[in-house]
Structures are given as structure tokens and as C-alpha cells.
Structure 1
Amino acid sequence: MIPAITAVRMTGAAHRADLPLLVLGPSLGTSASTLWTACAAGLTEVFDVLAWDLPGHGHNKAVPEEQFTMAELARGVLAVVDDVCEQRGKAGSTFLYAGDSVGGAVGLQLLLDVPDRVGGAVLLCTGAKIGDPAMWAGRIGQVSVSGTPVMVAGSAERWFAPGFLDRHPDVGSALLGALQDTDDTGYTQVCQVVSDFDVRDRLSEITAPVLAVAGAHDVATPPALLEEIADGVRDGRLVVLPDVAHLAPAEAPSEVAALLRQHLLGEPLPAERGERYDAGLAVRREVLGDAHVDRATANATDFTRDFQELITEYAWGEIWTRPGLDRRSRSLITLTALVARGHHEELAMHVRAALRNGLTVDELKELFLQTAIYCGVPDANTAFRIAQGVLAEEGLA
């Protein structure tokens, strides 16, 4: 039985038919939106991005009455791709593919079943065989009795590298929420699909170029499974991401986007970073926060990426790392300079940074009073207004 698949278009309608079609597959228990949206921000300018949801997952509320196989699931995905190809005016054309976990397994199935249609693939955190039947039977039994919420605690441990949930609670919450909202039957049907899947003896049939991406902390599909794929296909390559577990597109969105662009389009990867860049990135995260840095990185385009790298390496890696002043002093200087030059668009960000660097509310008040005399009352007035908003957001006003 071929299951119904729901498509999620991630590229705006303007000119997307002129871009190569990239199909993105999800992991078990996730949705296309929660898993791929951050990564897709670095892809939609160069690809027509089409993601899809598994039965009972995300936007796909259709759950088949009968069990289906991996081959049938892949045919359901292909049916959606064929519809989109017709909409693009390119019926039957080739497409590019990337998928995580079961989404990667679907990619392997497509590479085997329709080799003339898949021009290249990136398979992440997956395997030619994943787990063993006893493990899957146990999981099916748990969800059949208690529903998908019973999987949340275990998935929180398996899905993410150490410290990720502390650094990115919103991302983790969205993904675990999607798991909890997944239809019980849809989840167990996909479990059975993965349990029955085994194409290890067919990898040599795959001729399209394949990039296998592993997470160094992935216990569900450890790097050895991705190495098996890279070695088994005719044109394969392995990359292991050091701070990633099982959901690479959500854990390392910018890195995964760069890998996809490099493998599927031939774009060069960002240059290898030196010690100054690494030190700058570490300080930038400590001062501005992971959320701000991740957002800036994810939103970088070909036009702005070099600038992001420049400020990370030189502003943060060359200046903020110097031993001559502590970070409290550097925050005081930076805030004064921003007020003096009227750079109010960055003032709120550096007020938060100053609080993170140990400045008190009273010290901020004294700083802005000082700027009223030496920079001007109107500029200080604006600074007080912006800082007041930040303090209110932080529960300090």
C-alpha cells in the first residue's frame, strides 16, 4: 500500500522553477518544519526546496489502514515529487535529495528504485539497516500501549548532542513537541518500516554521488553506519560532525546547509578556520549568547557570509580576546561608543551582553548618565529607553 505523503514547500514561488529541485526527508517522530526550517534558510536561495512529512507526522494527518514497506513509502514520496516536477513544467525530471534517519533510508530506496531520477544525495544520521527487530518491536509495543509521549524522554537523550538542549531549548522543545503530537499508529507503522529495511547487500548498485553525514554523538545511527554507506556505494564520501547526535539539520543547520551546497552544487566549503576565528566564535557566543550567534549564522547569505566571518575573526577573535581589559570594561567602552555614534540598532544587543559580562543595573545607569554629559542628552535619552526595554525583558526593571 502506497501511503499518502504531504509536501511542504520551503522556497518562495518567485523563480523557484528555475532552481534545482531539492527534496528533504524527515526523521521518525519529527516534522519537516521542525527538523529542516533553520537549515533550509541557507538553501532556499539556490534550491527549490521541497520537504515532506511521514504519515501521521507534522502536516500529514493521513494514516494508512494497512502496513506499508520502505519501497512503498519511497513511491509515495516520488508521487509527490512527480506532482511538483509537473508544476515546475519539468515532468519526470531529476531531483536532488537529502534525508535524516528514516528520511535518509528513503533516499537509499529512491537511489535503488529510480536511479535515473536522483542526481545526488546527502544521507544524514541513517543506515542501510537501522537497529534490530527486537528493539523496534519493543518501541512499537510501548507506543501502542502508552502513545508517542512515552518516547519523549528517551528521544531527548538520543536525538541531541550533550548540552544542546541547554543551549537551544526552543529548538529542542519544538522537535520533542512534534514527537508528542505524532499519531500513534503513524509512528508505529514507520517503526515497522525501518525494522524491515535492509539494503546493505545492494549498496554497490548505487551510482549517484552520495555524501554520508554522521553525528559523532549519535547512538541511534553511529558513524560506522554512515561509513558503511560511504564505502558501499560507488561514489561515496563520509563527513562526521563533531557536536551533533541524531538530528543534524536542526543541531547544525548552517554546517549541514554548507555541506549540501558543496556536495550537490559543487560550492566550496567555508575556509578552514584558524585559532583566531575559533577563539572569536567562542567569545562571541559567551558575550552575545548562542541564540544570537546561531541566528546570525543561519541568516547569512552569499552576500553577508564573509562579513559575518570578518567580525567573528577580527572584532571577537582579535579585540575581545586581548588580555589588556576584562570583558566588563570592554562592555562599558562598547556601550559608550554606540551611544556616542548613535548606533542604536546594536545597543540592545550590547546591553544584554553587558549584563552577561557582569555589569549591574546601577552601573548601566551610571554609564548612560555619563553619556548624557559627554555625548548629549538626546542620545542618552534614547539609550535609557532602549536599555529600559531590555531590562524589562530580562525581569530586571
Structure 2
Amino acid sequence: MITPEVTGVAMGGGPGLPLLLLGPSLGTSATALWSAAASDLADAWQVVAWDLPGHGHNPDVPGEGFTMAELAEGVLDLVDRVQSERGDAGGAFAYAGVSIGGAVGQQLLLDVPARVTRAVLLCTAARFGDPSGWHERAALVRSSGTPAVVPGSAERWFAPGFLDSHPEIGATLLDSLQAADRFGYAAACEALAGFDVRARLGEVGTPLLVIAGEDDIAAPPREGRLIAESVQHGRLVVLPGVGHLAPAEAPERVAQLVREHLTTGTSPEGRLHAAGMRVRRKVLGDSHVDRAEASRTEFTDEFQDLITRYAWGEIWNRPGLDWRSRSLITLTAMIARGHHDEFAMHVRAARRNGLTTDEIKELILQCAIYCGVPDANTAFRIAQSVLDELDEDPEGTR
């Protein structure tokens, strides 16, 4: 087994605080990627980041390649060294990692679950595309160096407009890519080529927050959703206007989410939110929920959490009625109260829950008598439009 050398970078906080380990994205340095977010976390954790071989502060370049499991072993060796200095060798720690750092996080959760108390995975996937693409990139970098991939990375890493509005941040990150050792970068590419833990995600029982960038090309939100929905206690947050390097693009928001998860992720509210999000996605569909999550703001966050926990996690999750029955009740309430936008949304949900067009028609006819003909007239108009749309787009992706 080849265990690559992993170098730690102190990011703030003293050894008397709980340990938080931060993982990088391929081609970045810990300092360039995490400094801004880490400064907001150092009051509550001893924050230590790690650099890939040949990246940032890590001069070691292995003579051979390594697997993701071997890289995770190197990260664990770093943790053991840090914890020995802290006087809590073999203890548990919190973890947050981006992209390949998120892949290492998944590997740690599978290989040493008792060591990781809580985890945040950012802009990552359980499998990163076709392995052939990674082998081709490794060959290119070995022959031409990391400058050969700087233009492509500039396009993949950042949300549209970010480089124009934050040129200094972009330049620092791209400089760290250009300075990375070509053999260390290529070895990491080959580790990504061989990484695929999709079939094992159900084994992960550690409370997990997955953060995705709405504009991430390298690891789109659907990849984060797969992880969040496959593990036992997962939650997905999609950040609008963010690409692949969330801690650098939205450091305050990332730090806030990391803090909330690491301190409340195992609370009853956290479990209720996770259960509610699973039901919400099954009833309303991924496309609708992704759009709703992308439009969240600091002003609406608490309201959205309230709805997810209590409407979806509590009421829709109760065993006394099936989802078909709950759809019938909800459609009736929307007609009676004149909530037209919500009615349209729940017509889509009703179809997902198995109601037929004829059953929806019968419900509206019933409401014509008990709620009023004008209300039913409006309901028929809205339902017809939604049902026509669903005939054209059955998955409701528009």
C-alpha cells in the first residue's frame, strides 16, 4: 500500500478546541481555498487544512500513483500526528472537504466512521465522470505541466462573472494551480479516475451536510443530491451564484453552514429537516426543490427550514394517511383558500403521488359545490395548464 505524504496547514484556533480538518480541491492550496472561511470558524475549532502531494505547502511527490483510499490513509496519518500533539491521539474530529477533499471525506466516513463526528462535503461527487477523462488529463499534465489546464479550470471553477468581480481571489487560486507539481496533480487525477463509492453510500451513518454550487460544472448539484439522499442522515444545500470552489466564492455562507451543521447536525431539528427534505423531494420533485433551494436568502432561510421540518418532516411523514390522500386534502385546501400558485404546485405533486387526471377533475367538481363555482372555475383553468405542461414534460423538469 502506498500512503502519500499529506501536509497540514494551521488555519487558526488553539489545541484546546475541537479539531476541524479541511480538505482541498484538485489544483488548489489550502491557504488559497479555505483562508477566508476558516477565519470565521477558528473561534470554535482548531482548524487544520491539508494539501495534496505537490500542492501548496506539500513538497512531497510520490514516485507512484495512489488510490483514494491510500490518500485518505495519508490524511488520517496527518490527523494522528496533530492529535498526538494535542494529547488526544486516536480521537474523533470533524471534517469538511471540497471536490477531491470531499471524496477523501467519503472515504474516511466509510473506512473509519468512528473517527469522524460530523462531516460537510462541498462541490463533490461519489464518482467524478468517466475515468478516461482523468487519465487523459493526467497524461496532459505529466507532459506539459499544470499551466496546460489553467484555462479550462478557470472556466470550470467559478460561477459566471466571479472572476470579473473578484479578480484577486481568482488569481490566487489559479496561481496555486499553476504552481502545483505536475506529477502530484497527475497522481490525484488518477485517484479520481478510480474513485466510485456510489454503491456504499448507504453505509454512511454520520450526520452529513452536502453543499453544492448552483453553477458548478465539475460537480453539479445532482451529484451532491445523490450523496445526500443515499446516506442515512444527509442534507443538501445548493448555493446560488456559486461554482466549484464554494469556500472561496462564498466564504461567509460556507462558514455559517459548516458551523450550523457541526453544532446542530445531530439535534432532533436536524434529523427532522433531513427527513422532511427527503419527503419534499419525492412529492414535489428534484427540479422544483432545487429551484426553491437556489432562491433561498438569509432573509428566507428560517422560514424555509420551518416548512421543511414541520410541513414535510412532520405532517407529510405521519403514517396515518398515504400521500395520495394528503394530496387530495391539500388540493381542496388550496382551492378553498384561493392559493393559486400553491395549487399549481400541488397538482404536479398529486400526479407524482399517483392521482389521475380524472381523479383531479372529480376533486375540483366536488369543490365546486362545497367551496364555490368561481373557485372551481379558476382551479380548472390552473389544473388544465399544469396537466398540459406535464403531458409535454412528464418529469416536470421545466
Determine if the TM-score, normalized by the shorter chain, exceeds 0.5. Answer: yes
Aligned to 1:201: 199
Aligned to 2:134: 136
Aligned to 2:6: 5
Instruction: Please point out which of 127, 149, 154 is paired with 1:156.
Output: 154
Correspondence 1:119 to 2:117 = yes
User: Which amino acid is the alignment partner of residue 299 of structure 2?
Assistant: R
Aligned to 2:172: 174
The answer to which of 111-120 and 82-91 deviates more is 82-91
Instruction: Please point out which of 91, 97, 100 is paired with 2:98.
Output: 100
Distance 1:29 1:164 in 2: 18
In the TM superposition, residue 134 of structure 1 has moved relative to its aligned partner by 1.7
Aligned to 2:299: 273
Write the mapping of 1:327-366 to structure 2, written as runs, cut at 5 A.
Answer: none
Distance 1:138 1:170 in 2: 30
Write the mapping of 1:203-222 to structure 2, written as runs, cut at 5 A.
Answer: 203-222=201-220
Q: Any idea what the Cα deviations from partners look like across 1:108-134, whole Å, max 9, x if unmatched?
A: 000000000000100000011012112
In the TM superposition, residue 271 of structure 1 has moved relative to its aligned partner by 8.8
Aligned to 1:189: 187
Distance 2:24 2:176 in 1: 12
Distance 1:55 1:271 in 2: 38
In the TM superposition, residue 62 of structure 1 has moved relative to its aligned partner by 0.4
In the TM superposition, residue 217 of structure 1 has moved relative to its aligned partner by 0.5
Correspondence 1:36 to 2:34 = yes
In the TM superposition, residue 211 of structure 1 has moved relative to its aligned partner by 0.4
Distance 1:139 1:271, change over 3 A: closer
Distance 1:68 1:134 in 2: 17
Instruction: Please point out which of 231, 235, 238 is paired with 1:240.
Output: 238
The answer to which of 30-39 and 264-273 deviates more is 264-273
Distance 1:83 1:105 in 2: 22
Q: Any idea what the Cα deviations from partners look like across 1:185-219, whole Å, max 9, x if unmatched?
A: 00000000000000000001111001011000011
Give the TM-score normalised by the residue count of structure 2: 0.66
User: Which amino acid is the alignment partner of residue 138 of structure 2?
Assistant: I
Give the TM-score normalised by the residue count of structure 1: 0.67
Q: Any idea what the Cα deviations from partners look like across 1:115-160, whole Å, max 9, x if unmatched?
A: 0000010000001101211211221122122110011111111000
Distance 1:17 1:7 in 2: 14
User: Which amino acid is the alignment partner of residue 31 of structure 1?
Assistant: S
User: Which amino acid is the alignment partner of residue 10 of structure 2?
Assistant: R
Distance 1:243 1:272 in 2: 14
Percent identity, please: 58
Aligned to 1:228: 226
Conservation of the 8 A alpha-carbon contact between 2:7 and 2:52? yes
**What RMSD in Å do the two structures reach over aligned CA positions?**
1.7
Instruction: Please point out which of 84, 87, 90 is paired with 1:86.
Output: 84
Q: Any idea what the Cα deviations from partners look like across 1:319-373, whole Å, max 9, x if unmatched?
A: xxxxxxxxxxxxxxxxxxxxxxxxxxxxxxxxxxxxxxxxxxxxxxxxxxxxxxx
Q: Any idea what the Cα deviations from partners look like across 1:2-41, whole Å, max 9, x if unmatched?
A: 00110001115xxx22211100000000000000001111
Q: What are the ranges of 5 or more consecutive residues in structure 2 without an aligned counterpart?
A: 271-295, 301-398
Write the mapping of 1:39-50 to structure 2, written as runs, cut at 5 A.
Answer: 39-50=37-48
Q: What are the ranges of 5 or more consecutive residues in structure 1 without an aligned counterpart?
A: 275-397
Aligned to 1:145: 143
